[in-house]
């Protein structure tokens, strides 16, 4: 499976600044949340799209658990923790629905696309941060293993 995806240079630059200049990963939860709000506004400017974001500080101590999601009906991103990778993932869903009108595509294609986009942005912004997250097993899935989802299969089974 081809996992390299073209992503906008401006977006990569914003995320690179966030990681390298603003030292996102070293901040506390409230600061991270503020930074993601700011990043959301910057991303919106790049794509010229509206939308809302809500970020809570729950599940922060559980790296393997997340209930982040995107609600197309009100163009709302919900994050249960100020996670950069979750933010990128849900922002891609916002783009899919609002910018590219792909909401009618099958859920699997949409999900894989969001995973590829978020991981590509992250890795292009900072290869070091990406590899570090991979090594520490902080990612629910990786570019090597886009479907490592014991977490979803577990929660989806009746």
Residues contributing to the site for Zn ion (CB under 5 A): 111, 114
**Closer to Zn ion by Cβ: residue 114 or 125:** 114
Q: In whole angstroms, what is the distance from residue 49 CA to residue 46 CA?
A: 8
Strand ranges (DSSP E) for 73-117? 76-79
**Spatial distance between the Cα atoms of 133 and 64, rounded to a whole number of angstroms:** 13
Residue 14 beta carbon to Zn ion: minimum distance, rounded to whole angstroms:
21
CB of 23 to Zn ion, least distance (A): 27
Nearer to Zn ion, 14 or 110 (CB): 110
Nearest by Cα to 19 from 32, 8, 37: 32
Q: Which residue is nearest to Zn ion (CB)?
A: 114
CB 97, min distance to Zn ion, A: 11
Pick between residue 105 and residue 127 the one whose CB is nearest to Zn ion.
105
**Buried-exposed string 87-103: b where 16+ CB fall within 10 A, e elsewhere:** bbbbbbbbbbbbeeeee
In the 8-state DSSP scheme, what is residue 44?
A: H
Beta carbon nearer to Zn ion, 53 or 114: 114
């Amino acid at each position: 499976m081809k996992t390299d995806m073209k992503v906008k240079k401006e977006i990569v630059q914003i995320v690179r600044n966030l990681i390298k200049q603003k030292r996102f990963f070293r901040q506390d939860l409230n600061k991270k949340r503020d930074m993601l709000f700011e990043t959301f506004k910057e991303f919106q400017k790049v794509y010229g799209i509206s939308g809302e974001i809500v970020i809570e500080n729950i599940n922060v101590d559980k790296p393997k658990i997340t209930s982040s999601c995107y609600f197309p009906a009100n163009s709302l991103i919900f994050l249960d923790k100020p996670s950069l990778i979750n933010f990128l993932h849900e922002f891609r869903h916002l783009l899919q629905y609002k910018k590219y009108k792909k909401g009618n595509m099958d859920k699997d294609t949409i999900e894989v696309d969001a995973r590829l986009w978020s991981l590509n942005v992250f890795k292009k912004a900072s290869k070091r941060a990406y590899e570090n997250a991979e090594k520490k097993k902080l990612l629910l899935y990786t570019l090597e293993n886009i479907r490592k989802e014991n977490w979803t299969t577990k929660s989806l089974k009746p």
